[in-house]
């Protein structure tokens, strides 16, 4: 059956890591193998100032970081691969958490010198909560770094994972000779030439063969034999079922910048990674091979092309097929919408597609109908779960710095908040607008985008708030709730969805409020309604 065949071809995954571990570079090299690009954009010489292919927002190019999730696709070995390249910077973690609701598996990139870092721990925790299958890629082997076994121990201990190496380095840094591919039983020699698309591979079933000395030298051959003996003794054999259940994580070593070890990772990935998986809605479990289309918005991106004020809603197709010019039910608005130009992506290139299948990501032009978490179906009322909004860490009043541009500022703020860049709160007492973010860098991004995309200028004032708590009264007509609202009126605001929020100035304040008003529940996470 055509639908099943198409679904089984698809692999939709996210790449996650701490900033600077080489995630965007790895994305590019995967695209090179897929023939999707001819040269890597990570050429950072002084003569050629080229940004990475997946970083298309001006501020990303200036800073050299990814601040928005890019959606990229390519074909490889008869599989259609969809990559979601997520921001590594912790100030944009919320975008990454939401993106993880749209992937079926994940590749975690770790820097060989720095090992497991804080942001990686947080992101892997989210993957473990959702049982997302993970492959680990230890990057930058051409640099001096930690011992391979120490790194494997660190991954197990800090991330709480159970690993099995499917490739193993021969030396490291200056002594780096290449990689022994445990998965395919061959040796990949490292030449250090980043212009070479594919390195030399030598089939090598038996590492005890004396030929090994001739290829990599006596010392390296002896060391490799000892290391592999340890690998086979200490680590479990790869088991696909355990990987799919997120109980076992294969590990690959390489250097993305030098395009080394990437093919091994990709070849294994297309074999073992899951096709589109079922997804839980509030009403029932939705399976990808159901005939009827269902999908949900996990990201909104405005002004991908600054010359055209376009806004795209990214939809993950959960089941069935999405067809152009077919009416679908927007569940929250309870109205049918038709899309004449749904987009598929390759970095900055977009193309209009007539039909997309479960597992694909489609961009729909949006005039303000969508917000994150919205569901589209062929008529059934479904609401997909698990796209939360977390309590921000930073709070600032936003002021209009150019009174002539009040309309542009309002429009800009509303659109950026719909994208999930930050959260907007309006104080009950005086209607002043407050922006809450996960990290301080987001304020710069908002200011920059308001000016360059909407022609509006803003300034900020600090607001000493410890946490935003969503208010959930047991009885909204009770005297206790009325008293709570009267006493706390200076600290109450509404979020963009109209939900009541309490701004607490300290952890102590939260504790005292909960003791004094036991029937007014306070939440640190708001599921989008």
Q: Say if residue 301 carries a ligand binding annotation.
A: no
Tell me the C-alpha distance between 174 and 30, whole Å: 25
Question: Residue 83: helix, strand or coil by DSSP?
Answer: strand
From its phi and psi, is residue 359 left (phi > 0), alpha (psi between -120 and 50) or beta?
Answer: left
Tell me the C-alpha distance between 327 and 304, whole Å: 25
Q: Say if residue 19 carries a ligand binding annotation.
A: yes
Quick count: other Cβ atoms within 10 Å of Cβ 407?
A: 10
First and final CA of the chain: distance in angstroms?
36
Q: Say if residue 142 carries a ligand binding annotation.
A: yes
**Could you tell me the CA-to-CA distances from 235 to 164, 208, 223 in Å, in that order?**
5, 20, 18
402 and 451 Cβ atoms separated by less than 8 Å = no
Q: Say if residue 356 carries a ligand binding annotation.
A: no
Q: Say if residue 158 carries a ligand binding annotation.
A: no
Tell me the C-alpha distance between 444 and 95, whole Å: 16
Q: Say if residue 24 carries a ligand binding annotation.
A: yes
Quick count: other Cβ atoms within 10 Å of Cβ 255?
A: 26
Quick count: other Cβ atoms within 10 Å of Cβ 335?
A: 10
312 and 363 Cβ atoms separated by less than 8 Å = yes
Sort 101 into a burial class: Cβ within 10 Å, 0-12 / 13-18 / 19+.
buried
Q: Say if residue 441 carries a ligand binding annotation.
A: no
Q: Say if residue 20 carries a ligand binding annotation.
A: yes
Q: Say if residue 88 carries a ligand binding annotation.
A: yes
Burial profile 12-40: b = 16 or more Cβ within 10 angstroms, e = fewer:
bbbbbbbbbbbbbbbbbbbbbbbebbeeb
- Of 16, 12, 253, 256, residue with least CA distance to 137: 253
| 414 alpha-carbon distance from chain centroid | 23
- Per-residue three-class SS string for 376-399: EECCCCCCECCCEEECCCEEEEEE
Residue 166 tokens read as 């499917």
Q: Say if residue 21 carries a ligand binding annotation.
A: yes
Q: Say if residue 75 carries a ligand binding annotation.
A: no
Q: Say if residue 85 carries a ligand binding annotation.
A: yes
Sort 195 into a burial class: Cβ within 10 Å, 0-12 / 13-18 / 19+.
exposed
From its phi and psi, is residue 287 left (phi > 0), alpha (psi between -120 and 50) or beta?
Answer: beta
Q: Say if residue 306 carries a ligand binding annotation.
A: no
Binding residues: 17-24, 85-89, 139-142
Binding residues for GTP: 17-24, 85-89, 139-142
């Amino acid at each position: 059956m055509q639908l099943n065949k198409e679904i089984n071809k698809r692999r939709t995954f996210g790449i996650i890591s701490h900033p600077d571990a080489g995630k965007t570079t790895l994305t590019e090299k995967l695209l090179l193998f897929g023939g999707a690009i001819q040269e890597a954009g990570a050429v950072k010489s002084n003569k050629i100032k080229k940004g990475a292919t997946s970083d298309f927002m001006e501020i990303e190019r200036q800073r050299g970081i990814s601040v928005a999730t890019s959606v990229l696709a390519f074909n490889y070995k008869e599989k259609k691969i969809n990559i979601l390249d997520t921001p590594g910077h912790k100030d944009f973690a919320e975008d990454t958490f939401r993106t993880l609701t749209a992937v079926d598996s994940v590749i975690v990139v770790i820097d060989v010198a720095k090992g497991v870092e804080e942001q990686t721990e947080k992101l892997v925790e989210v993957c473990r909560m959702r049982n997302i299958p993970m492959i680990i890629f230890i990057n930058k082997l051409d640099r001096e770094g930690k011992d391979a076994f120490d790194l494997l121990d660190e991954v197990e201990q800090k991330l709480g994972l159970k690993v099995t190496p499917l490739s193993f380095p021969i030396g490291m840094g200056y002594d780096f000779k290449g990689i022994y591919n445990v998965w395919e039983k061959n040796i990949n020699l490292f030449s250090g030439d980043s212009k070479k698309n594919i390195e030399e591979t030598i089939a090598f079933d038996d590492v005890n063969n004396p030929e090994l000395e001739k290829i990599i030298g006596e010392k390296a051959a002896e060391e490799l034999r000892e290391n592999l003996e340890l690998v086979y003794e200490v680590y479990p054999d790869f088991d696909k079922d355990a990987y799919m259940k997120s109980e076992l994580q294969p590990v690959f070593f390489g250097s993305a910048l030098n395009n080394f070890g990437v093919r091994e990772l990709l070849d294994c990935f297309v074999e073992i990674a899951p096709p589109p998986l079922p997804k839980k809605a509030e009403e029932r479990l939705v399976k990808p091979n159901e005939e009827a289309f269902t999908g949900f918005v996990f990201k909104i991106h405005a002004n991908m092309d600054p010359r055209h004020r376009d806004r795209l809603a990214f939809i993950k197709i959960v089941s069935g097929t999405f067809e152009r010019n077919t009416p679908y039910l927007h569940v929250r608005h309870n109205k049918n919408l038709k899309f004449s130009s749904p987009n598929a992506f390759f970095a900055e290139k977009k193309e209009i597609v007539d039909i997309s299948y479960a597992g694909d990501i489609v961009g729909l032009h949006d005039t303000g109908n969508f917000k994150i978490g919205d569901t589209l179906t062929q008529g059934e009322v479904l609401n997909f779960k698990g796209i939360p909004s977390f309590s921000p860490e930073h709070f600032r009043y936003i002021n209009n710095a150019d009174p002539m541009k009040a309309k542009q500022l309002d429009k800009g703020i509303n659109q950026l908040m719909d994208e999930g860049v930050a959260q907007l709160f309006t104080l009950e007492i005086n209607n002043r607008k407050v922006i809450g973010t996960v990290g301080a860098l987001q304020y710069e991004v908002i200011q920059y985008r308001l000016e360059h995309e909407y022609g509006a200028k803003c300034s900020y004032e600090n607001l000493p708030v410890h946490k935003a708590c969503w208010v959930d009264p047991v009885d909204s007509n009770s005297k206790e709730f009325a008293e709570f609202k009267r006493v706390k009126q200076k600290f109450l605001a509404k979020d963009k969805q109209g939900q009541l929020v309490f701004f607490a100035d300290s952890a102590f304040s939260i504790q005292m409020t909960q003791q004094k008003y036991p029937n007014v529940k306070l939440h640190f996470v708001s599921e989008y309604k």
